[in-house]
Amino acid sequence: MVSVLLTEQLQQVKDVLKTWKEVDERVSKLCLTSSAAVSKSTDTACSTTFKITDGLVGFLSGNFSGTTWKDEYLGVNATVTKGTNEVATGYLDGVKFTGRGAWAEWPVGSQGENQLYHFANYNFTLVATVSIDGVPKEGSIPLMGVRLDGGKKLMELLYGSGKKWQVLCSDGTTKRLKSTWDTQTQYQVAILLQNGKQGSVYVDGQRVCESAQRGLENTESKGISHFYIGGDGGSAGGQGDVSVTVRNVLLYNRPLTFSGPDAEVEKDVASPAGAGSRTKTGGEIKTEGKPATTQQVPTASSSHAVGEAAGNAGTMHGSGLLPSLLLLLGLWGFAAL
C-alpha cells in the first residue's frame, strides 16, 4: 500500500517537473524589451546576456477559468473579481478586464500563513504587457499596483483621460508622464522593490520614479498584502465601457531594471485614493543597483522553487514547491530500500 502511494506521489513529482520545463520553454520565447514582452521573431530580438527565466517564480498567461487565473508554474493563483456590470474575458496569453470593478488579486500576505511569495516584501519585479482599449472619460483608472496589509497602496500605475500615464511612487508622491499612451498598443510595465525600501516603476523601459519607501505609522504593517492587476477593486465609477488587456504577467524574486532613460514627468499631482513619448529602441534588462553591468545579482539555480537571499537579511525565500517534491523523492527512495 505504501509503495503504491509513493509511486503515485513520484508520478506527481514527475508531472510537476515536466510542467515547469514546458512553461520554461514557452517563457523563453518571450522578450523583455521596451516595446513589451512579445514573441521572439529574430535571433537578436532579446538580450543575449539576460535569461528571462532566472529568478522567475510566477507566470500568469492564458490559463483563466471562472474566477481563477492560474499560475502556469503551479504556484499561487490569482483571483479575478468582477461586479455586476464588469467583465473579465480570457485570451490566449492573458485576460481582458472591462470596467474598473473587474480586476485580479495575486496574493502575497493575503494568502495566509503559508506565503509562497513572502520574498516580495524584500525583493521583487512584477512585469506585464498591457494594451488599453479605450480612453477614460474622466479621472484615472488603476492598471497595476501593490497594496499593503491594512489597505494602503505602496506603488501603482494608472491610465487616465487625456491618454496620460499616472504613477504613485513608493515615497507617496504621484507623477504624471508628459508622454501619452495610444489605444490598441502594447506597452510593457514593471513595478519592483529592492531591499524592502527602494521602489521603482517603469513604463516601456523608462523609469518613472525611483524612491525610498515612505514612512508608515508604527501601528501599521509594512508587509505586502497582494498585487492587483487590471484594476484595484474600486467601483466602476462610470467607466464600465473602458477595458484593458493584460498579458504575460511575470513575477521575479529579484529586482530588475531597464536601460532606457528616465521618463519625462509633469509636476507632482494629487495622490490617488487609497495612497497614503515612447522610445522605439529595445531596453536591455540589467540587475538593479549595478550600473552598466548585466546579471550581477546571483540567482537561484532553479527559478521556480528556490528563492534568493532577500536583500541583506540573508534569508532564503522559496516557493515551497521544491522542498515538498524533494521530501517525496526521499520517502520514495527510502521505501525502495
**Number of domains comprising the chain:** 1
Find the domain containing 76 and state its range.
2-336
Of residues 12 and 250, more confidently modeled:
250
pLDDT band at 284 (very low <50, low <70, confident <90, very high): very low
* Model pLDDT, residue 6: 80
- Residue 121, classed as helix, strand or coil, is helix
Residue 77: pLDDT over 80: yes
* Model pLDDT, residue 311: 37
Maximum separation of any 2 CA atoms in the chain, in Å: 70
CB 210 within 8 A of CB 198: yes
Spatial separation of the C-alpha atoms in residues 170 and 247, rounded to whole Å: 24
Q: Which three cell numbers stand for residue 181?
A: 499612451
* Model pLDDT, residue 272: 57
**pTM of the full structure:** 0.78
Of residues 106 and 197, more confidently modeled:
106
Identify the bridge partners of residue 107 per DSSP, sorted by sequence position. Answer: 226
Region 56-72 average pLDDT:
95
The CATH number of whichever domain residue 299 belongs to comes to 2.60.120.200
pLDDT band at 252 (very low <50, low <70, confident <90, very high): very high
Which of 49-53, 86-90, 151-155, 270-274 comes out lowest in average pLDDT? 270-274
CA dihedral 181, 182, 185, 186 (to 10 degrees): 10
Of residues 187 and 113, more confidently modeled:
187
pLDDT digits (tens, 9 = 90+) for 102-142: 999 999 988 877 889 999 999 999 999 999 998 988 889 99
In the chain, what percentage of residues exceed pLDDT 90?
41
* Model pLDDT, residue 7: 82
* Model pLDDT, residue 214: 66
Spatial separation of the C-alpha atoms in residues 167 and 171, rounded to whole Å: 11
* Model pLDDT, residue 36: 45
pLDDT digits (tens, 9 = 90+) for 6-52: 888 888 888 899 999 999 999 998 877 544 444 443 333 366 677 89
Side-chain half-sphere exposure of 327, counting CA atoms within 13 A: 5
* Model pLDDT, residue 44: 32
Q: What are phi and psi of 159, to 5 degrees?
A: -120, 140
* Model pLDDT, residue 211: 72
Q: Which three cell numbers stand for residue 137?
A: 472619460
Spatial separation of the C-alpha atoms in residues 63 and 80, rounded to whole Å: 12
pLDDT digits (tens, 9 = 90+) for 132-165: 998 988 889 999 999 999 899 999 999 998 999 9
Q: What region, left, alpha or beta, does residue 272 occupy, with left being phi > 0 and alpha being psi -120 to 50 degrees?
A: beta
Region 305-332 average pLDDT:
44
Mean pLDDT for the chain overall = 76
- Residue 287, classed as helix, strand or coil, is strand
* Model pLDDT, residue 275: 56
Spatial separation of the C-alpha atoms in residues 203 and 165, rounded to whole Å: 9
Which of 103-112, 190-199, 216-225, 291-300 comes out lowest in average pLDDT? 291-300
Which of 56-65, 109-118, 314-323 comes out lowest in average pLDDT? 314-323
CB 204 within 8 A of CB 279: yes
pLDDT band at 202 (very low <50, low <70, confident <90, very high): very high
* Model pLDDT, residue 23: 93
* Model pLDDT, residue 1: 62
